[in-house]
A and B are shown apart, each in its own frame.
Chain A
Amino acid sequence: MDITLKVNGTPRAVDVDPRMSLLDLLRERLGLIGAKKGCDHGQCGACTVIIDGRRANACLALAVAVDGSEVTTVEGLAEGDDLHPLQEAFIEHDAFQCGYCTPGQLCSAVGMLGEPGPSAVTGDLVVDPDLTPEEIRERMSGNLCRCGAYVNIVSAIGEAAP
């Protein structure tokens, strides 16, 4: 099926197998290997990209179902040679080891910073909470890191958050 996406600002028209996930489209057809396949079932977060402004698991999205969407991957976070503040902070805080979960962590963090509502650890639901380390940890729990860089990830995000 023919679909059109805007990926990191560039329109891309592709003919896809309806079975193909957005993740496989990015990785196998569009040459964008940043989004990673860690589980292919929405259980690890390594494939996290931003679809129409929201972080999402690219492995759970059929490519045909996101026809017409705007997708941002980790490759689209930097402005030319200038890294996104989160990317800088991840390097500075050693917020990764093997690096395989890192693109998903970064896209997830970017998306998370645009989600002001409460989380599962928020006390008062009515007021948007401050982004405490506890809030960051809960909101970032959809991105597993087997190297165990969590404490560094949280400090990196805490520093880079506006």
Chain B
Amino acid sequence: MKPFEYARAGSPSDAVRRYRPGTMYLGGGTNLVDLMRLGVAEPDRLVDVSRLPLDAIEQAGDRLRVGAAVRNTDLAADPLVRARYPMLARAVLAGASGQVRNMATVAGNLLQRTRCAYFQDVGRPCNKRRPGSGCPAIEGDHTNLAVLGASDSCVATHPSDMAVALAALDAEVHVTGPEGDRIIPMPGLHRLPGDEPERDTVLEPGDLITAVELPAPPPGASTYRKVRERASFAFALVSIAATLDVGSDGVVNDCRIALGSVAHVPWRAERAERLLIGGPATGAAFLRAAEAELEQARPLPRNAYKLPLARNLIVATLEELAP
């Protein structure tokens, strides 16, 4: 690990004031310390934001505001989250381990980086880590990498479970930074790799996430399901966050579908949603919607299994949610 300076911020604005190029904000550390030890992250300066007073979960009308420093465990254990956003609680609980969830923060979870083997190994090329060095995953190990929205320069996936649920919930990410405050609606925080895979998100240098705000829960039933070959403590092969509201006439009033571990972003299945809303809530309709969504996929030889997996998962999950 390269030597660095360490300082603790007294407030969000203090943190932003301390930002200079080479600075990184330290939250729970569960991914940043990991990456620093690997030499993947080499900050000159850490500004510790883990103890900022951003650790409250507050109701505001029919919305819920979750502080950026709320630990994953506390988010999933919160009575309001469990009762009103069960999909979010389940997504958080599906991630990592009890220990890691006790440390990891909401903002850190959103900003964690891909677990692509090449990205994590400084001895091998990776366009995300060293722009222009190449992407060996395309010809090499991409077993758990992206099938949607990838580019010739990067096929990494975003590893978060929580972010998939937030994408389905239309959550808003509150940010403060050198240019002031702003709100970024999910899933717009994360970006596709294109020819700038080194940028995971639309955040600008010095930006600090202060909160995530959840709109009123969407109508209907919702769930989160994660597929993995190890029964626990493993990143998803594919995951899904879905909500479905069906009228008494059997017509879909509302539907949200987000997929995890298929793309550089939590993937909102907008095509499928558009096809479903206003149509019948039948298995055949679910299958048509899933296939339409996955038509845009560009699988690689070793991750093509994700297409039948994602298709099956969409269909089975919607069937489970349908009345």
Contact = CB atoms under 8 A, between A and B. Distances in A.
Do A and B bind?
A: yes
Interface of A: 1, 17-19, 21, 40-42, 45, 48, 54-57, 59-62, 64-65, 108, 111-112, 115-120, 122, 125-126, 137-144
Given A65-B26, A142-B99, 5 more contacts: A55-B102, A111-B98, A125-B90, A142-B96, A142-B98
A142 B100 contact: yes
Q: Which one of A56, A64, A116, A143 has the greatest number of beta carbons of chain B within 10 Å?
A: A56
B89 A125 contact: yes
Interface string B44-73: 001010100000000000000000000001
Most chain A CB inside 10 Å of its own CB: which residue of B48, B100, B102: B102
Interface stretch (B2-10, B179-187, B263-271, B285-293): B2-10
B231 A118 contact: no
A125 B86 contact: yes
30 contacts: A1-B6, A41-B37, A45-B99, A59-B33, A60-B34, A61-B29, A61-B103, A62-B6, A62-B29, A65-B6, A65-B50, A111-B98, A111-B102, A115-B77, A118-B77, A118-B82, A119-B93, A120-B90, A120-B226, A125-B82, A125-B83, A125-B89, A125-B90, A126-B79, A137-B232, A141-B97, A141-B231, A141-B232, A141-B233, A142-B98
Interface centre among B30, B33, B99, by most A CB within 10 Å?
B99
A101 to B, nearest CB: 13
A65 B97 contact: no
A60 B6 contact: no
Contacts of A64: 6, 48
B85 to A, nearest CB: 10
A19 B1 contact: yes
A61 B99 CA distance: 11
A19 B102 contact: no
A36 to B, nearest CB: 13
Given A18-B5, A120-B232, A57 B77 contact: no
A17 B83 CA distance: 44
Interface of B: 1, 3-6, 26, 28-30, 33-34, 37-38, 46, 48, 50, 73, 76-77, 79, 82-83, 86, 89-90, 93-94, 96-100, 102-103, 226, 231-233
Which of B79, B82, B98 has the most chain A CB atoms inside 10 A of its CB? B98
A57 B99 contact: yes
B30 A42 contact: yes
Contacts of A42: 30, 34, 96-97, 99-100
Given A60-B33, A120-B93, A125-B82, A18 B6 contact: yes
B233 A142 contact: yes
A150 B135 CA distance: 39
A118 B99 CA distance: 15
Contacts of A141: 97, 231-233
B1 to A, nearest CB: 4
Nearest to B6: A18
A65 B48 contact: yes
A115 B103 CA distance: 14
A23 B82 CA distance: 33
Contact of A112 (B5, B37, B90, B98): B98
A55 B99 contact: yes
Contact of B94 (A48, A115, A120, A143): A120
A119 B76 CA distance: 9
A17 to B, nearest CB: 8
A146 B77 CA distance: 30
B52 to A, nearest CB: 13
Nearest to A48: B99
B97 A126 contact: no
Given A42-B30, A62-B26, A115-B73, A55 B6 contact: no
Nearest to B103: A56
Nearest to A39: B34
A65 B96 CA distance: 21
A19 B4 contact: yes
Contacts of A111: 98-99, 102
Nearest to B2: A19
Given A126-B83, A141-B231, A117 B102 contact: no
